[in-house]
Structure 1
Amino acid sequence: MTTQSIYYSIADLQLNITFPSECNLPELLPNFEPFRVSFQSDKPISCSVTVTEEEFPFERDKAKLLSDISIVWGDNFTFYETEEAYYILIKTENDPSIQWKMRSSKDFRKNVIYCGPIDKPKNQLISWFCMVAFAQSALLHQCVMIHASVVMNDEGGYAFLGKSGTGKSTHSKLWLTHNEGFELLNDDNPALRIVDEEVRVYGTPWSGKTPCYRAESRPLKALVRLRQAPHNIFYVKEDKDALLALLPSCSAIRWNLNLYSTLINILVVIIDKVKIGELHCLPDKEAAQICFSHVQNYNK
C-alpha cells in the first residue's frame, strides 16, 4: 500500500498524518485544510498518526480496561492499556461486532488508526481520533486543549468554559453582538500554549458543531467559567479555586501520571499569568457587558 504524509500546524506544533495515497484529503478532513503546511523543520512534531485500512491485532485478555464511557461515543467506547500502548475502541453503529480502533504509544507521539475502508462518512471518527492523539502529545510542548468557546479581537482572546449545555456558545454570540470588534476564534476545542513566557490561545481543526476552523492565535487575556443563574455576577478565581475552575475543561488522560502532572504544571503557569473568573449569568446582553468590563485590559 502506497501512502502520502500531510503536515498540519496546530498551536505552532506539527501533526503528521499518513493516509493511503488514493485518499482525497481535502474531502476527507476539510476542517484540517486551513492548518495544512509543508514540512517545517523549525517546529516540533507533536505527534504522527497513520490511518490504515489494514486491521492490527488487539489482545483484550492482555489489556487493562480504563474506561467504558465517553461523552461523544457513549457506551460504544472503551479505553484500554497494555504494557506498551493505549488502545481506544469504538463500536460501529450498524454492526457492534466491528470495532474501529486507535493504538497509541504511552506519550501519544505515535498513533495508528484502523477504521476499515477509508471514506467520507468516517471523517468525524478520524478527526476525533486525531484530536485525542494531539491533545495528549501536545502537553509535552506546554500546550493544553480545552473544552471552551473563544472570542478574539486585535488585542487578545477570551475563553469561556463550562459544562455542556451551560451556554458557552451563547455567551460568545453575546460578546460578538454587544462588544465591538470581536470575532469567533473557536467554538469547542481551542488550544492554549505557553510561548516565551506568554500564554496564547489558538484555533484548531476541532470546533464542535460550529464550522470555525481558523489557523490564528492571540495572547490569552482571560478564562471565564460560566454557570447559569438568575443574575449576572462575576467572581475572580485565584490559586486553588482557579485550578479547580480550569481542570474539568482540560483534555488529559488521568491514568497517565506523567501527562497529568504535566497538565497541572501548565495550568499553574497559566493561572499565574492570566485572569481566571467565574460568571454566574443569564443569557443576556448585561452578562456579556459585565464579563467584558471585568476582563478587559487586565494585566497580572
Structure 2
Amino acid sequence: MVNRYKIADKVVEVTSIHAEVHKYCADYQTDENVDYSVTTTQADIDFEREKSAREDEVEGIPVRHFSDSYLEELAVYRKIAEKMLDFDTVLFHGSVVAVDGVGYLFTAKSGTGKSTHTRLWREYFGERAVMVNDDKPLLHIADSGVVAYGTPYNGKHRLGTNTSVPLKAICILTRSAENHIEPITREQAYTMLLQQVYRPADMLKMAKTLALVDRLADSVKLYRLGCNMDISAAKIAYEGMKWRDLKM
C-alpha cells in the first residue's frame, strides 16, 4: 500500500506491507508533492521484533509478542526519523504541551510521569492548553529557534494534534515530595538530551544527530522540575519557566 503524509512540514510517501500503517497515519494524509519516500520490507519488521526482544531481555521482563503490522509502524517511524535528519529535525522522546501557542517539552526516564504531568497542565489551563505529542514529537532545529511538531506516533493513549508550535523550553522531570523548578545548564541537561533523542546506528547519521543535539541545547531554555502529582505542579512549572522568560 502507498500513501502520502505531511509530517513536520515534509511530505513522505510511505510504501508498506500492512494497511494498519496507513490507518495509524490517516490524520496526516496529503496529496502534496513528495519530499522523500520510505519503503518497509519483512526484513525491517523482523529487525523491530529482534530489537524489542533484546530490550525486554535487558530489562528482565518476559519477551513481548507484537503483530507484524504494529512492528511495521515502528519501522516506518524509524525510517522517517533517520530521513528527517536531512532537514535538521530530530525525533525526541518526551511529552509536548502548548499553552497559548507556546510549547514546553517534558522528558524523563520511563515511569517518572511525563504524561501525567502534561495531563495536569491540560486540567489546570483548560482550553488554553493543547497536547502536541505525548510520546515522540519531531523537533525542527533552525537558526530562528526550535519548532515542535505533532506526529501520528503520539503514544499508547494517542494524545496529540496535527499542529506545530515554537518550543520555548525543555524540562527534565524528577519525582519530589514538594514541587520546585530551577534552570539548568546545557552541561547538566546534555546527558538526558542525548538519551532521549533517537540515535541512529549509522555513524554519519549519528554525527548529524549529535550536532543537532548541541544546537538544541543552545536554542531552548533548560529546566529541572521536581514534582509530585498534585495539580499545583503544573502552576509552579509554568510560572517558573514564564518568570524566567520575562527576566531574560
TM-score w.r.t. the length of structure 2 is 0.84
Contact 2:40 2:72 in 1 (8 A): no
Assess, with a 3 A threshold, how the Cα gap between structure 1 residues 72 and 134 changes in structure 2: closer, same or farther. farther
**Residue matched to 2:122:** 176
The answer to whether residue 207 in structure 2 is matched with residue 210 in structure 1 is: no
**Residue matched to 1:153:** 99
| Distance (whole Å) between structure 1 residues aligned to residue 168 and residue 54 of structure 2 | 29
Q: Per residue, is there more helix in 1 or in 2? A: 2
The code of the aligned residue for 1:239 comes to R
Local SS of the residue matching 2:223: strand
Contact 2:96 2:133 in 1 (8 A): yes
Question: Once the 2 structures are TM-superposed, how far is the Cα of residue 72 of structure 1 from its aligned partner?
Answer: 9.1
| Distance (whole Å) between structure 1 residues aligned to residue 179 and residue 189 of structure 2 | 19
Equivalent of residue 38 in structure 2, options 43, 48, 52:
48
Contact 1:34 1:213 in 2 (8 A): no
Please tell me whether Structure 1 or Structure 2 has the larger radius of gyration of its CA atoms: 1
The percent identity for this pair of structures is 27
Q: Give RMSD over aligned pairs.
A: 2.9
Contact 1:192 1:201 in 2 (8 A): yes
- Segment drifting more, 218-227 vs 230-239: 230-239
Local SS of the residue matching 2:105: strand
**Residue matched to 1:281:** 227
The answer to whether residue 242 in structure 2 is matched with residue 260 in structure 1 is: no
**More RCO (CA 8 Å, sep 6+):** 2
**Residue matched to 2:74:** 128
Assess, with a 3 A threshold, how the Cα gap between structure 1 residues 208 and 223 changes in structure 2: closer, same or farther. same
The answer to whether residue 2 in structure 2 is matched with residue 5 in structure 1 is: yes
| Structure 1 stretches of at least 4 aligned residues deviating more than 6 Å after TM superposition | none
The code of the aligned residue for 2:215 comes to V
Deviations along 1:182-220, one digit per CA (max 9) or x if unpaired, are 021111111101245221000011111112342210000
Local SS of the residue matching 1:29: helix
Assess, with a 3 A threshold, how the Cα gap between structure 1 residues 28 and 252 changes in structure 2: closer, same or farther. closer
Question: Once the 2 structures are TM-superposed, how far is the Cα of residue 277 of structure 1 from its aligned partner?
Answer: 0.8
| Distance (whole Å) between structure 1 residues aligned to residue 139 and residue 117 of structure 2 | 20
Question: Once the 2 structures are TM-superposed, how far is the Cα of residue 15 of structure 1 from its aligned partner?
Answer: 2.2
**Residue matched to 2:133:** 186
Assess, with a 3 A threshold, how the Cα gap between structure 1 residues 219 and 72 changes in structure 2: closer, same or farther. farther
Contact 1:17 1:51 in 2 (8 A): no
Deviations along 1:256-285, one digit per CA (max 9) or x if unpaired, are 322222112112222222111111111112
Assess, with a 3 A threshold, how the Cα gap between structure 1 residues 71 and 164 changes in structure 2: closer, same or farther. farther
| Distance (whole Å) between structure 2 residues aligned to residue 50 and residue 256 of structure 1 | 18
Deviations along 1:106-145, one digit per CA (max 9) or x if unpaired, are xxxxxxxxxxxxxxx5432111111111112212211111
Q: Per residue, is there more strand in 1 or in 2? A: 1
**Structure 1 portions without partners, runs of 5+:** 59-64, 77-90, 95-120
The code of the aligned residue for 2:26 comes to E
The answer to whether residue 30 in structure 2 is matched with residue 37 in structure 1 is: yes
Assess, with a 3 A threshold, how the Cα gap between structure 1 residues 73 and 248 changes in structure 2: closer, same or farther. closer
**Structure 2 portions without partners, runs of 5+:** none
TM-score w.r.t. the length of structure 1 is 0.70
Equivalenced residue count is: 238
| Distance (whole Å) between structure 1 residues aligned to residue 190 and residue 228 of structure 2 | 24
| Distance (whole Å) between structure 2 residues aligned to residue 230 and residue 212 of structure 1 | 27
